[in-house]
Amino acid sequence: MRVRKRFGQHFLTDRHYLARIVAAIAPRAGDTMVEIGPGPGALTEELARVVKPLDVVEIDRDLAAALRQRFTPDEVRVHEGDVLDFDFAALGEGLRVVGNLPYNISTPILFRIAETADRVRDATFMLQKEVVDRMVASPDTPDYGRLSVMLQYRFAMAVALRVPPGAFTPPPKVDSAVVRMEPLPASRPRARDEALYARIVMAAFSQRRKTLRNATRALLDEEGFQRAGIDPSRRGETLSVAEFIRLADAGR
């Protein structure tokens, strides 16, 4: 395997952890599933035993070519390109998304998946452990931030297992973790203006030491805070998702 650092490649090679990740995914015949970043195909091989066809998205042209030689199109459909440009909607609804996400672009990929949450049945990702800690963090903790709020607005998430550096080739310098994500039901609380919600969340965490009054000055006035029932002297990291929704609904 030739590793390209610019793609943030760390390939899972430990069979024990591979089996545990497959168990966490629990593939079933008839699933509509896409794997992000299959690399040399260790996880792909296990999934393709059950899911046919399995769609995979691989940016590395050499790895994509190797996957096409290894699997027939009836087994694995290889989409060569950047996952940030991939049209997940083309695969239909009830989509199961899995993968060992590249460390260098894991956060943009997560936001991309969030955009298509209404089409996703579930997602199981392996990421850098510190990213997973941020994803599942509770309010008023050091790891809680914009990623926490934006993902928890759409998904219920739980850590499935931890994966040590030695399970990869080459070993990363950090621990990894597998997280399970399930879209919240259609009846979940929603902001009336989701674009404003996203702007308020971004502003609230742009400078963590700022109070909400100062951080969101361009989006909320004093009357807005009063309507939301939230003290403007609080900081963004103390607000729950429900409170951010209230702020957005009270915004300008």
CATH architecture, domain defined by 194-250: Orthogonal Bundle (1.10)
What share of the chain in percent tops pLDDT 90? Answer: 86
For residue 208, what pLDDT band results from cuts at 50, 70 and 90? confident
Is the C-alpha dihedral spanning 57, 60, 66, 69 positive or negative? positive
Residues pairing with 128 in the sheet: 176
Instruction: Name the percent of the chain in helix, strand, coil, to the closest 5.
Output: 45, 20, 35
pLDDT given for residue 252 in this prediction: 65
Q: Which two tokens stand for residue 187?
A: 């009846």
Mean pLDDT estimate for the chain: 93
Least confident of 98-107, 160-169, 230-239: 98-107
- Residues 4-59 have pLDDT tens digits of 444 445 678 899 999 999 999 999 999 999 999 998 899 999 999 999 999 999 99
Residues of the chain with CATH 3.40.50.150: 5-183
Residues of the chain with CATH 1.10.8.100: 194-250
Longest dimension (CA), the chain: 63
| Residue range 193-210: mean pLDDT, rounded | 94
Tokens 């050499």 appear where?
A: 62
Least confident of 32-36, 66-70, 89-93, 99-103: 99-103
Is pLDDT at 117 greater than 80 in this prediction? yes
Q: Which two tokens stand for residue 75?
A: 């087994």
Is the C-alpha dihedral spanning 191, 193, 195, 199 positive or negative? negative
Is pLDDT at 182 greater than 80 in this prediction? yes
pLDDT given for residue 96 in this prediction: 98
Least Cα distance to 90 among 50, 34, 28 occurs for: 34
Fold type of domain 5-183: Rossmann fold (3.40.50)
Whether the CB-CB separation of 160 and 196 falls below 8 Å is answered with no
3-state secondary structure of 216: coil
pLDDT given for residue 196 in this prediction: 97
Between these two residues, 101 and 146, which has the higher pLDDT value?
146
For residue 239, what pLDDT band results from cuts at 50, 70 and 90? very high
Q: How far is CA 102 from CA 32, 83, 160, 211, in A?
A: 22, 11, 18, 34
